[in-house]
Amino acid sequence: GRAEEGGRRPQHLDRLSFSPVQLPHLADYLPNLQTITNPLENSQFYHPSDEFYLSSSDVILRQTVLDLSGNFHSPSTSPHLSYPRAGPRKLIFFDPSHVRAAIVTCGGLCPGMNTVIRELVVGLWELYGVREIYGVKAGYRGFYSGEPVRLNPKLVHNWHKMGGTVLETSRGGFDLDKIVNGIQDRGFNQVYIIGGDGTMRGAVTIFNEICHRKLNVAVAGIPKTVDNDIGIIDKSFGFQTAVEMAQQPINAAHVEAESAVNGIGLVKLMGRSTGHIALHATLSSRDVDCCLIPENEFYLEGKGGLFEFLDARLKENGHAVLVVAEGAGQDMIPRTDAQKEERDESGNPVFLDVGGWLKSELKKWWARDHPDELFTVKYIDPTYMIRAVPANATDNLYCTLLAHSAIHGVMAGYTGFVCGPINGNYAYIPVKEVALAKNEVNTRDHKWAWVRSVTNQPDFGRS
């Protein structure tokens, strides 16, 4: 039995194969580019050894959880993807004195955007000696309208202490030709793009057009999504700050609910397509009685519904706290025809306020079923208070590592990529892959089961 298992390598393990993901490189279409030795070689802070530099054969495995039984069912499907490891290369493809770098932020706010900008500026300047760094104002449209601002370490030194983005952000304004013309006209040869799913889809298009025109311009994306809805990477920056900030409104909702007769505290948290913030905030708080997320459909009336659960909870405890992700229950909220058609400047469907709707449904329910009893719903929407804050310490460090990883990759000539941690190790990933990869809450796994056991909430007919 045991000895045999340890001694002999099961044959099916030979079927384990690795498939390295190819990262686009400027040399793919510009074969005559010269390389130079990394200036870190002469830096006073670094004493680079051969271990210090990474080679293109250093990879990170996408999956570290394998099923060695030979069944090869998910999540250990073969072949196993590997991505280049992020970090400095000994030979680089940009002469720092010829670099003109551009940094742009698009989409909604997220804690840590300013830190990423700051560290891109300071990293380019201090690590590689780049002196021409520009901030493109107000999203993609800044490439063709208005003037980019020149950035230097002195100017950005305290930006990591500020929420929002000093460069300003916007939605819409994506005009591919104008953007790439703007990049060419202004002589930018490194473009760093910070933004969410839409921004990354835009970055793919920009990268494709740059390849098509065979420009010596590297494009790097730094995914920004406070919702943590981007796949492949472990988590996105700002997410941990958001979970931390969400504790305050949950506490407030709890106090309000406890202090009322039949009090319900209702908190809406960010999460359009995924409920990660709501889930993590619920698991860290312990005061939440029910957590509603887009991945888990719910219903109000009847057996196993929300009202029945709250009725029992109020009888038992006198109060209840509800957390709802903004994308939950969108199908249940009545919409006018105009609302069905409504889109934001970037073309995304507009979300209706699930919190406001839920509050009024709760009140109607109570008035109908318990007309003579006191009842209070206190609804808190802390969205802007959560996302318009500076990054916490963990996210600040994370943003720094992301920015420096992006710089090392771009200096090494990689393009059309995104950097981020995969199982804790920083990797370069083609932006095309990241633009398509989703990260949804798995309501079949043990984390969601734990939510159910912490809250005791109904499973709305799932089991």
- The minimum distance between CB 201 and ligand ATP, in angstroms, equals 4
The answer to whether the beta carbons of residues 279 and 447 sit under 8 Å apart is: yes
The answer to whether the beta carbons of residues 153 and 125 sit under 8 Å apart is: yes
Residue (216 or 348) nearer to ligand ATP, CB: 348
- Residue partners of 389: CB distance under 8 A and separation at least 6: 111, 163, 241, 245
- The minimum distance between CB 435 and Mg ion, in angstroms, equals 11
Instruction: Identify the active-site residue in 14, 227, 344, 381.
Output: 227
Residue nearest to Mg ion (CB): 196
Binding mask 83-122 for ligand ATP (x = CB under 6 A): -----------------------xxx--------------
348 binds ligand ATP (CB under 6 A): yes
Residue positions forming the annotated binding site for ATP: 108, 171-172, 196-199
369 has catalytic annotation: no
Among 80, 131, 201, 452, binds ligand ATP (CB under 6 A): 201
Interacting span for ligand ATP (CB under 6 A) from 127-135, 192-200, 381-389, 446-454: 192-200
Q: Which residues of 20-58 are buried (b: 16+ CB within 10 A; e: fewer)?
A: ebebbbbeebeeeeeeeebbbeeeeeeeeeeeebbeeee
Rounded distance, CA 120 to CA 153, Å? Answer: 10
**What count of Cα atoms within 13 Å lies in the side-chain half-sphere of residue 224?**
30
For residue 207, with 0-12 CB atoms within 10 Å meaning exposed, 13-18 middle and 19 or more buried, which class applies? buried
Of all helices (H) and strands (E), which one includes residue 83?
A: strand 80-84
Where in 142-269 does DSSP place strands (E)?
Answer: 149-151, 190-195, 218-223, 263-269
For tokens 């929002």, the residue is 164
Residue (142 or 196) nearer to Mg ion, CB: 196
Residue positions forming the annotated binding site for Mg(2+): 197
- The minimum distance between CB 364 and ligand ATP, in angstroms, equals 32
DSSP states along 231-252: SSSS--TTHHHHHHHTHHHHHH
Residue (25 or 141) nearer to ligand ATP, CB: 141
Rounded distance, CA 221 to CA 430, Å? Answer: 9
Where in 262-351 does DSSP place strands (E)?
Answer: 263-269, 290-292, 319-325
Q: Which does 408 bind (CB under 5 to 8 A by kind): Mg ion, ligand ATP, none?
A: none
- Considering only CA atoms, which of 195, 144, 189, 190 is closest in space to residue 165? 195
Among 181, 184, 205, 248, binds ligand ATP (CB under 6 A): 205
Rounded distance, CA 105 to CA 156, Å? Answer: 15
Among 198, 263, 382, 390, binds ligand ATP (CB under 6 A): 198
439 binds ligand ATP (CB under 6 A): no
For tokens 């490439």, the residue is 143
Among 105, 115, 190, 225, binds ligand ATP (CB under 6 A): 225
Pairing, β 290-292 against β 263-269: unpaired
Interacting span for ligand ATP (CB under 6 A) from 8-16, 189-197, 212-220, 242-250: 189-197
Interacting span for ligand ATP (CB under 6 A) from 77-85, 193-201, 288-296, 424-432: 193-201
Binding mask 179-218 for Mg ion (x = CB under 5 A): -----------------xxx--------------------
Strands of 319-325's sheet in order across: 290-292, 319-325, 263-269, 376-380
Residue (43 or 348) nearer to ligand ATP, CB: 348
Binding mask 125-144 for ligand ATP (x = CB under 6 A): --------------xx----
199 binds ligand ATP (CB under 6 A): yes
Among 105, 273, 346, 443, binds ligand ATP (CB under 6 A): 346
Encoded amino acid at 409, one letter: G
- The minimum distance between CB 304 and ligand ATP, in angstroms, equals 33
Binding mask 393-432 for ligand ATP (x = CB under 6 A): ----------------------------------------
Interacting span for ligand ATP (CB under 6 A) from 153-161, 196-204, 316-324, 437-445: 196-204
Rounded distance, CA 105 to CA 417, Å? Answer: 16
By annotation, the residues acting in catalysis are: 227
Chain residues that interact with ligand ATP, rule: CB under 6 A: 106-108, 139-140, 171-174, 195-199, 201-202, 205, 225, 346, 348
Chain residues that interact with Mg ion, rule: CB under 5 A: 196-198
